[in-house]
Structure 1
Amino acid sequence: MNIWTYDGTFEGFLTLVFDCYDLKIFPEVIIGKNPEQMQIFNSDYEVVSDRAKAKRVWKGLHKKISGVSCEMLFRVFLSEQTDIEQVLLNYIKRAFASPSNTESDFRDEFVLKIYKVNKMVGREAERILMFVRFQKTVDDIYYASFDPKYNVLPLTISHFENRFTDQKWVIYDTRRNYGFYYDMKETQEITFSESAVNPVSGKIDEHIMAEDEKLFQTLWKTYFDATCIRERLNPRLHMQFLPKRFWKYLPEKQTG
């Protein structure tokens, strides 16, 4: 079995595609940053991420498929689904091999899979935008936590940069332990070695929470409770539009 490993980044994956064509070998198994898989399998080839190689592949893809479909490949990569690299590789192989555009050929199982996964990733990214609740810290930084199913945080950052240009903020993925910090000039990726945030609820500790934030949360919950019409409650419909896994991040849903 031909097993390849790479660093788990999109740049690393595009480098892998380049090496496949350069070496004229295509792996049967692709392993990213998955410690469990790496313990089970021995690598036959380790891909070294190379920006120049990745750019050549990306440029080549734009000649074969539309920019929208190229962006879709990136979004699907962020799904982190099992064997998604193999699905992407097969999609790319067909795109490069075909003399005509293949991106809308839904008879192909890989094209269909790409579209389905892209839809799921897009829906998860929209939920981040819909359910974000910032908490103000004593340092005047607004903080929000999430643990999304897919690695969708990069898809939401431009929205927050455009919407909240006049304040400092942090959006953090507690499942993958990384996030983005905006200082009103630029956005940078960050990682917390130690955090004053409850990993379960996403709530910041009392000692770093701004005094007016506590008041705002109380007022918001009071408003939410006061405007709720008990006679019209529909729990099933409510959870359909507001999945329960997001409730822990919403002040209006806190009981304590």
Structure 2
Amino acid sequence: MLVFYYDKTFEGLLCAVFDAFKLKKMPESLLAQDEVAPLLTTESHHVEIRNNKYERVQTALKKKLSKVTHQQLVNVWLSELPDSDLIIFRYVCKVFRSPHSIETDFADPDVLAVREISRKISKEREYLMQFVRFNVIENSVTNADKDVKEKIYFAVIAPRYNALPLTLNFFKDRYADQKWAIYDEKRQYGFLYDLERIKRISLGDENDLIIDSQINQEYLSPDEVIFQTMWYRYCEALTIKERINPKLQRQQMPKRFWQYLPEMQDH
């Protein structure tokens, strides 16, 4: 049994594809550098990450695959599902081996898996675009030797899949004139848009901005507290209690998103 060790990045995975064709050996398992090899391992190879290897495979893939399928592979990578990297690895190897396109060969288990997993990530992306709720927080900044309260639209999420990177262009276009940040508390990272560019952020373990999946009330602007209360009361006034359908509500709005919606909180 042959095992490839790599750094568990998408670039490293494409470098593993390069090494497999160079060595003319196909691994049966892909592991992180510090993972223990399976009991039946007879041979191992450590993938060296080089830009020229990654770029060669990436360029060749763009020539062989449509933009839709290329995005599907990225989606599968973001799924973080077990063996998702091995599925991508086998798929890419089949692309280079076949003289014809394999994109619609759904009799192949890897082609079918890529399509089905990608659909799940696309659905999660849609959920995020629908159910992300921004809260206005105030951040103290020093400007011309004066402390100024800077307002930022901040949202907390914990998606099932790592779909946040797929939504950035949507939020940038929709809120182009506002500073905003979306933080994935499950994966401990997020993105901040400062009106010029989007950059990755991390709050760290000792930050008290998020407490029990909720934004610390001390950071909310006074207007935000008022607006949330008004919004909750508005939703309550519109609700016809006799027509509440919890099952349909969960179908249209998965319960895992409720904790982040002001209208679903007990005020």
**TM-score bracket for this pair, using the shorter chain length:** over 0.9
Q: How does 1:140-219 map to 2 (within 5 A)?
A: 140-193=151-204, 194-198=206-210, 200-201=212-213, 203-219=214-230
For 1:10-57, what per-residue CA distance to the aligned partner results, in whole angstroms no more than 9, with x for missing partners?
A: 122112211222222222111248x7xx25659933333333321211
Q: State the distance in 1 between where 2:48 and 2:165 align.
A: 23
Bigger Rg, which one? 2
**% identical equivalent positions:** 40
| Aligned partners of 2:3 and 2:37 also within 8 Å | no
Q: Aligned to 2:79, what secondary structure does the other structure show?
A: coil
Q: Aligned to 1:53, what secondary structure does the other structure show?
A: helix
Counterpart in 1 of 2:21? 21
Against the structure 1 CA distance between its residues 145 and 48, is the aligned structure 2 distance closer, same or farther, given a 3 Å change threshold? farther
Q: Does 1:133 align with 2:133?
A: yes
Counterpart in 1 of 2:116? 116
Q: State the distance in 2 between where 1:146 and 1:8 align.
A: 24
Alignment gaps of 5+ in structure 2:
140-150
Structure 1 residue 106: deviation in Å? 0.9
Alignment gaps of 5+ in structure 1:
none
Q: How does 1:51-70 map to 2 (within 5 A)?
A: 51-70=51-70
TM-score, length of structure 2 as denominator length = 0.89
Structure 1 residue 195: deviation in Å? 2.3
Q: State the distance in 2 between where 1:5 and 1:172 align.
A: 31
Q: State the distance in 2 between where 1:25 and 1:248 align.
A: 48
TM-score, length of structure 1 as denominator length = 0.92
Q: State the distance in 2 between where 1:23 and 1:199 align.
A: 50
Structure 1 residue 214: deviation in Å? 0.6
Whichever residue aligns with residue 196 of structure 1, its letter is D
Q: How does 1:22-41 map to 2 (within 5 A)?
A: 22-32=22-32, 38-39=35-36
For 1:165-201, what per-residue CA distance to the aligned partner results, in whole angstroms no more than 9, with x for missing partners?
A: 1111111111111111110000011111132233532
Q: State the distance in 1 between where 2:211 and 2:28 align.
A: 37
